[in-house]
Structure 1
């Protein structure tokens, strides 16, 4: 029997959080935002609740009681089912072991970089470099706050280290390519956009 895996990548985040402790969706959202993971997963209230319902329907997680704070409505707390935890770790193992094609927008846009012309292409790359630098600085602050201020173990934020390494590599490439364009070392087809 083939196990139906969640279509929404947010399911990974939900299942990961439930490894730590049972939680209700509101606490899941708060933890994802606090850790800066709302930038890695498309997080809306609707998508989170839809994901939780789908995981419960498919037997990955189950209700583990309710929690009520003050006059707020009672919230259903969820935990892994034993089978759901096993499925999650199998899925995770596969995702880590087996590279799969990803289709980032930036790579798609690079395919047509020549259409911008050398000046505009270099300007666009320089602007991207500045945005990457700002993102790296903000990410580093969030990482340090999680590790030092909140005592989050390194293993629980290791994806931030990976994201930092990827952003640093992209930044190096973007800067080097902009520099090549600016000094004329990257040949541009004749008559192709001197914008």
Structure 2
């Protein structure tokens, strides 16, 4: 993949889903919608077809066949290439430690299972350092504002962010504990069979 190319979150999710097997764009769209991944990225048919075409041009996926079902239009099936697999892993490694792009972080977290357990722990540890630093900035700002008798109404957003940072750190520490102790199944060993995985639904997460 060219160094100047940056994957969109949708592209990452499409590539990651193709790890499960060869699929055509409509099948990818249906599967992502069934899993309610529209919580993370917009799932528009035209955008998905456009993204698939771009991924093929960039050598991240390849056409492996065309089929027709009755009177329906032909459907082209695509396969994930090694370059596409590497691109997903690189993107997740870049975004998982970040705290300033929450949308990208959610996608990176959703696809973090593609990385080794130890890699995820190390990346989350880097993210924790940023979260702690941000929390201290918010706490210091609140303390100075109170000393200056800044009206409370001007501080409610900062207070909310401080509370959210506390919650984020508590959640991340819990996740890290599961990864380090092995109580959280991870990677290939934590997955059901290919057939079962392909039909996992996230409707309960809506």
Relative to the length of structure 2, the TM-score reads: 0.48
The alpha carbon displacement at 1:160 in A equals 9.2
Relative to structure 1, the CA distance from residue 82 to residue 67 in structure 2 (aligned partners, 3 Å threshold; closer, same or farther) is same
The alpha carbon displacement at 1:71 in A equals 2.2
Corresponding residue of 1:102: 101
RMSD, aligned CA: 3.7
Tell me how far apart the structure 1 counterparts of residues 67 and 30 of structure 2 sit (CA, whole Å).
15
Radius of gyration: which is bigger?
Answer: 1
Aligned length: 120
Matches within 5 A, 1:117-128: none
Relative to the length of structure 1, the TM-score reads: 0.51
The alpha carbon displacement at 1:49 in A equals 0.9
**SS at structure 2 position matched to 1:101:** coil
Please list the CA deviations of residues 45-91 of structure 1 after superposition, one character each: whole Å capped at 9, or x if unmatched. Answer: 11111111111111111111112222212211111122222222222
Corresponding residue of 1:4: 5
The alpha carbon displacement at 1:114 in A equals 4.3
**SS at structure 1 position matched to 2:63:** strand
The alpha carbon displacement at 1:92 in A equals 2.0
Tell me how far apart the structure 1 counterparts of residues 102 and 36 of structure 2 sit (CA, whole Å).
22
Matches within 5 A, 1:1-195: 2=3, 4-6=5-7, 8-96=8-96, 98-102=97-101, 114=153, 151-152=196-197
The alpha carbon displacement at 1:3 in A equals 5.3
Tell me how far apart the structure 2 counterparts of residues 160 and 36 of structure 1 sit (CA, whole Å).
6
Please list the CA deviations of residues 78-107 of structure 1 after superposition, one character each: whole Å capped at 9, or x if unmatched. Answer: 1112222222222223322x2141268xxx
Relative to structure 1, the CA distance from residue 50 to residue 100 in structure 2 (aligned partners, 3 Å threshold; closer, same or farther) is farther
Tell me how far apart the structure 1 counterparts of residues 197 and 62 of structure 2 sit (CA, whole Å).
26
Maintained 8 Å contact 2:61/2:81? yes
Tell me how far apart the structure 2 counterparts of residues 9 and 57 of structure 1 sit (CA, whole Å).
18
